[in-house]
């Protein structure tokens, strides 16, 4: 699959603004081999995240990280940070800051 790996936190305003865009991307491309994985970096753990996910109707899997995985993939220096990974597992795009569907759709379509 093509994977969009999105590092975020509930206290991050740009992260919150981009969640509806991610939900739309998941709905539009999930049947084409596209997956989104949200990686919460909330220091208080998953408890603060679960009610947040219900409120925003998040339709993609969310995992929690303590920056361990983020540091292995290239480092997380600001939130949100998003990686686009092709079917071969290679990172083809790294974006620091808020994203929109318009920002990513050309790259996603090229990989599908």
Write out pLDDT tens, residues 37-86: 999 999 887 777 888 888 889 999 999 887 777 778 878 889 999 999 99
For helices 101-111 and 13-29, give the axis angle rounded to 10 degrees.
Answer: 40
Q: What is the pLDDT of residue 54?
A: 85
Report how far residue 109's alpha carbon sits from residue 12's, in angstroms, rounded to the nearest whole number. 28
β-partners of residue 37 are 5
- Confidence check: pLDDT of 110 > 90: yes
Q: Which residues contact 22 (CB under 8 A, 6 or more apart)?
A: 4, 6, 36, 38, 58, 60
- Rounded distance between C-alpha atoms, residue 84 and residue 107, angstroms: 8
Place of tokens 């989104």: 36
- The model's pLDDT over 14-35, given as tens digits with 9 standing for 90+, comes to 999 999 999 999 999 999 999 9
pLDDT recorded at residue 47: 76
pTM of this structure: 0.92
Bridge partner residues of 39 (DSSP): 7, 63
């Amino acid at each position: 699959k093509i994977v969009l790996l999105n590092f975020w936190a509930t206290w991050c305003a740009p992260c919150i603004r981009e969640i509806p865009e991610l939900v739309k991307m998941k709905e539009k491309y999930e049947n084409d081999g596209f997956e989104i994985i949200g990686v919460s970096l909330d220091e208080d753990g998953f408890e603060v995240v679960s009610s947040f996910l219900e409120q925003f109707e998040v339709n993609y899997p969310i995992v929690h990280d303590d920056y361990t995985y983020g540091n292995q993939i290239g480092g997380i220096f600001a939130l949100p940070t998003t990686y686009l990974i092709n079917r071969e597992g290679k990172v083809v795009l790294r974006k620091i800051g808020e994203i929109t569907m318009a920002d990513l759709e050309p790259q996603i379509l090229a990989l599908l």
